[in-house]
Structure 1
Amino acid sequence: MKPHRNRIKTSASIMAAAVLLVSPVASAGGLMVWEIGTPTLGTAGAGWAAMPEDASTAYTNPAGTVWRDDTEIMASGQLMYGHLDFSDGGQSNVPGNDGGNAIEWFPGGGFFAAGRLTDSVGWGFAMAGNMGGVLDYDNDWKGRRFVTDVSLIGMSLLPSLSWKASDCLSLGLGLNIMGGYYKYESRPRAGLLGGDARLKYDDTDVAFGANLGVIYKPTATTTLGLSYTSKVDWEFRDDLRLRDFGPLFSLLVSRLNGARTDIDMDVPQTVTLSLQQRLSAVTTLYANVNWQEWSEFGFIGFQIDNPDQTSATINREYDDTWHGALGIRHQYSAGALQGWSLSAGIGYDSSMEDLNSRTADLVVDKTWRLGLGARKELCPGLRLDVGYTLAWVGDPNIDQSGRPPFSPRLQGSYDDYSLNFFGASVQFEL
């Protein structure tokens, strides 16, 4: 942190390493999601970095783009619907309602293209977002002293090249051009007589990183994928906006209202290892394991509970997380499902938060994922995939307290916290 005059500068770094697959909008153990509308919706993310036959490999593993005979293009879309309702535990001390459903409908998806320049050199391009979270509470809810609205959204453009080193090995390198949007808003107490003030901050930024990948096919039925994405450093800069504070905070408002505020935030560094194993001519197994170093991540949230406070920096202590997923796909050659492939998968993410570190602007916990999907070749060179993933978080508890003199407290739980992802993709060959 480098504070001077009326400037708040906060640094945070995220590393997420995946041993067999990685990567919410606050839906899993961290802030990265597996769901971008691609066929991995139907396997709960399993096989993420080991599907070189999909154009989406341009996003998940750039080394896969060279493994094709024709140029392939995929467009995906999805809708996410969440259920995140706060239930008061009886010890919250700010009057108000329970905040409503903080996560409702949210769109997503992407565009992917992959092809070959020569027999041994491939190219790829991808556009998708799988980083961030959006929470929108009622303005008069019991946790408004901490947050009413927060958004952190990342979108990546990924041009890449790949090289087939041998008949069983390829390498890939891509540039990650990543745009980010950060917004934070809360309703601090206005003064001794109560009432709500307002604190707001928002900005966008574009930063750069690198993607590396390896595809290894030791046999005709086995594909291993390894991908690495480097850290991306966002620097958000905007004027902090304070409004409707009482006389008790006049000094703070005069110092901070309109002050240029810088927030440095590092998007995760990740390592991903995935498996695709063909069990028979019609059945394929997918698997993932990952590790994410969320202990290196600090997330920004402003709290103004002390009139002598002139800067706000919150470095939260999070835990490293791990993830595992297993999926299967089976193609039917007869009966009512002839021509269709059906898939299913299950995954688990541990939590980066516990009760001591959980705050109302970032609600994550251990998460189970269940994926279901269907695939059909509509005609030669044109393929349709549809998928659904349920991310079940459960009932994470929260007990967040603010600073004197007012010492707001939010105590309770988020019951039956879940996310539902509905998506589809179309891939065709040129």
Structure 2
Amino acid sequence: MAKVKLFKHSSLSLPLAIGAVLVAPLAKAGGLMVWEIGTPTLGTAGAGWAAMPEDASTAFTNPAGTVWREETQLMASGQLLYGNLEFSNGGDSNVPGNDGGNAIEWFPGGGFFAAGRLNDDFGWGFTVAGNLGGSLDYDNGWHGRRFVTETDLIGMSLMPSISWKANDCLSVGLGLNLMTGYYRLESRPRAGLLGGDARLKYDDTDVAPGGNLGIIYKPMDSTTLGLDLTTEVSWEFSYNLKLGGFGPLFEPVFDRLNGRRLTIDMDMPKTATASLQQQLSGDTTLYANLNWQNWSNFGLVGIVIDNPNQTSATVNRNYDDTWHGSLGIRHQLRSGTLAGWALSAGLGYDSSMVENEFRTADVVVDEQWRLGLGARKEICPGLRMDVGYTLVWMGDTPIDQEGDPPFSPRLQGSYDDYSLNFFGASFQFEL
């Protein structure tokens, strides 16, 4: 659990300092950790994530799968995210403004994956990909600007890995996850007793290590079971806090904080994913997923402001661990107009990491339903193309966020018809 240390002034300046910094907390995104990275699981709503050793993307999703191939494989994937996240005022928001516009517009993603065998017993993998975060960009004059106007939390992993085939049924893999994190936050705190907007800005990048342990078990040719475990990754962001525009009454208070080194410790969660790939016939394959993510630890949030006179506090964002389940199917077409294509579909569910009463405008997440559709075709020997689409639906998501005294800003309403749309494609080459 992290601690919050803030410059200690008078009884008035301390809550003002807390209000300026802590009402705009640490994270963002419409999903934080997503299943969509442009790979073939786009077409199955994530199902089969850790049980697809025939894809080069196994270097990211389960390093134990890299040894199960005859040739070296390379995969390049790309995708675009477009969301619908617009605030609807419920009538009790007490900061005048607008609805903020659509806070999630076009955002790119994807990755590069490579996998091969060193010999009959050992395989190798390498990947550069990211499935964490995104961006929120509200209008500067919206009702929730006291809490956030813009925020980014983006994670990108560089992961070399090695795998070992213990026998004809079992392999084990280990990956080193070097994860780069980028975090940015801007908000418009109240300028003072007369109102108006001040400015708060924070922006930093950090790199931290983590681990990825995978197991592939194939009891028969038609069945593949996968288990993938990832460790916690701990970032430490450190940047000079930028504050300004607080007016003549409060400017002396916040001048003492402006430019101070602000350190934020942020722990990305450990995860566990169990997956199934089951061939039902020569042309039809079933996929399944179960997953757990440790978001409750991520919700213990803290900052340290470098200053000789400090006081401590602890912030708990009341996050819950999440679970995920999904089912998908892929069918190879042998005749008709679409002969040579394989079509896929999937349905998934993710529980919410936060209850309605604790939701904040910088982390707008809720329980999610996923619908995935995809298509695959061998373009020529050694070259395969996959295209996919996933709809993530969160529906009407309520929010009632209140800030600290003395001004106690409140954002009350809902995000109606909240959804994310992922469009992606990948190409896999065999060397």
* TM-score normalised by L of structure 1: 0.92
* Partner Cα separation in structure 1 for residue 52 and residue 295 of structure 2: 27
Aligned to 2:377: 376
Q: Does 1:27 align with 2:30?
A: yes
Q: Does 1:158 align with 2:159?
A: yes
Show structure 1 runs of 5+ residues with no match: 15-23, 303-308
Aligned to 2:13: none
Say which SS state the counterpart of residue 396 (structure 1) adopts: strand
Q: How far is 1:197 from its partner?
A: 0.1
Question: What does 1:404-423 correspond to in 2, within 5 Å?
Answer: 404-423=405-424
What is the number of equivalent residue pairs in this alignment? 410
* Partner Cα separation in structure 1 for residue 400 and residue 194 of structure 2: 25
Say which SS state the counterpart of residue 295 (structure 1) adopts: helix
Q: How far is 1:247 from its partner?
A: 3.0
* Partner Cα separation in structure 1 for residue 313 and residue 410 of structure 2: 18
Amino acid at match of 1:317: N
* Partner Cα separation in structure 1 for residue 28 and residue 166 of structure 2: 37
* 8 A contact 1:27–1:391 mirrored in 2: no
* 8 A contact 2:267–2:297 mirrored in 1: no
Aligned to 2:15: none
Q: 1:95 to 1:310 in 2, by over 3 A?
A: farther
Write out per-residue CA displacement over residues 27-70 of structure 1, whole angstroms, 9 at most, x where no aligned residue.
34xx1000000000000000000000000000000000000000
Q: Which region of structure 1 is more displaced relative to structure 2, 272-281 or 243-252?
A: 243-252
Write out per-residue CA displacement over residues 111-163 of structure 1, whole angstroms, 9 at most, x where no aligned residue.
00000011110000011000123111000000000100111100000100000
* Partner Cα separation in structure 1 for residue 314 and residue 244 of structure 2: 20
Q: 1:2 to 1:357 in 2, by over 3 A?
A: closer
Cα RMSD of the aligned pairs, angstroms, is 2.1
Q: How far is 1:290 from its partner?
A: 1.6
Amino acid at match of 2:357: N
Say which SS state the counterpart of residue 64 (structure 1) adopts: helix
* 8 A contact 2:44–2:372 mirrored in 1: yes
Aligned to 1:18: none
* 8 A contact 1:252–1:310 mirrored in 2: no
Q: 1:5 to 1:413 in 2, by over 3 A?
A: closer
Say which SS state the counterpart of residue 358 (structure 2) adopts: coil
Q: 1:298 to 1:247 in 2, by over 3 A?
A: farther
Q: 1:3 to 1:280 in 2, by over 3 A?
A: closer
* 8 A contact 1:25–1:32 mirrored in 2: no
* Partner Cα separation in structure 1 for residue 106 and residue 300 of structure 2: 24
Show structure 2 runs of 5+ residues with no match: 9-17, 304-309
* 8 A contact 1:237–1:260 mirrored in 2: yes
Aligned to 2:96: 95
Question: What does 1:74-153 correspond to in 2, within 5 Å?
Answer: 74-153=75-154
Q: Does 1:389 align with 2:372?
A: no
Say which SS state the counterpart of residue 388 (structure 2) adopts: strand
Aligned to 2:227: 226
Q: Which region of structure 1 is more displaced relative to structure 2, 44-53 or 286-295?
A: 286-295
Q: 1:80 to 1:169 in 2, by over 3 A?
A: same
* 8 A contact 2:90–2:414 mirrored in 1: yes
Q: 1:25 to 1:407 in 2, by over 3 A?
A: closer
Aligned to 2:306: none
* Partner Cα separation in structure 1 for residue 117 and residue 330 of structure 2: 27
* 8 A contact 1:144–1:186 mirrored in 2: yes
Q: Which region of structure 1 is more displaced relative to structure 2, 163-172 or 402-411?
A: 402-411
Aligned to 2:360: 359
Q: How far is 1:4 from its partner?
A: 5.8
* 8 A contact 1:318–1:353 mirrored in 2: yes
Q: 1:4 to 1:146 in 2, by over 3 A?
A: closer
Write out per-residue CA displacement over residues 378-423 of structure 1, whole angstroms, 9 at most, x where no aligned residue.
1111000000000001011000111111111100000000000000
Q: 1:3 to 1:277 in 2, by over 3 A?
A: closer
Q: 1:295 to 1:383 in 2, by over 3 A?
A: same
Q: 1:301 to 1:231 in 2, by over 3 A?
A: closer
Q: 1:259 to 1:148 in 2, by over 3 A?
A: same
Q: 1:3 to 1:316 in 2, by over 3 A?
A: closer
* 8 A contact 1:61–1:212 mirrored in 2: yes
* 8 A contact 1:301–1:361 mirrored in 2: no
Q: How far is 1:252 from its partner?
A: 2.8
Q: How far is 1:320 from its partner?
A: 2.0
* Partner Cα separation in structure 1 for residue 313 and residue 97 of structure 2: 25
* Partner Cα separation in structure 2 for residue 311 and residue 408 of structure 1: 23
* Partner Cα separation in structure 1 for residue 164 and residue 253 of structure 2: 57
* 8 A contact 1:255–1:310 mirrored in 2: no
Aligned to 1:58: 59
Q: Which region of structure 1 is more displaced relative to structure 2, 80-89 or 129-138?
A: 129-138
Q: Which region of structure 1 is more displaced relative to structure 2, 291-300 or 62-71?
A: 291-300
* 8 A contact 2:33–2:132 mirrored in 1: yes
* TM-score normalised by L of structure 2: 0.91
Q: Which region of structure 1 is more displaced relative to structure 2, 293-302 or 105-114?
A: 293-302
* Partner Cα separation in structure 1 for residue 78 and residue 160 of structure 2: 20
* 8 A contact 1:27–1:33 mirrored in 2: no
Aligned to 1:400: 401
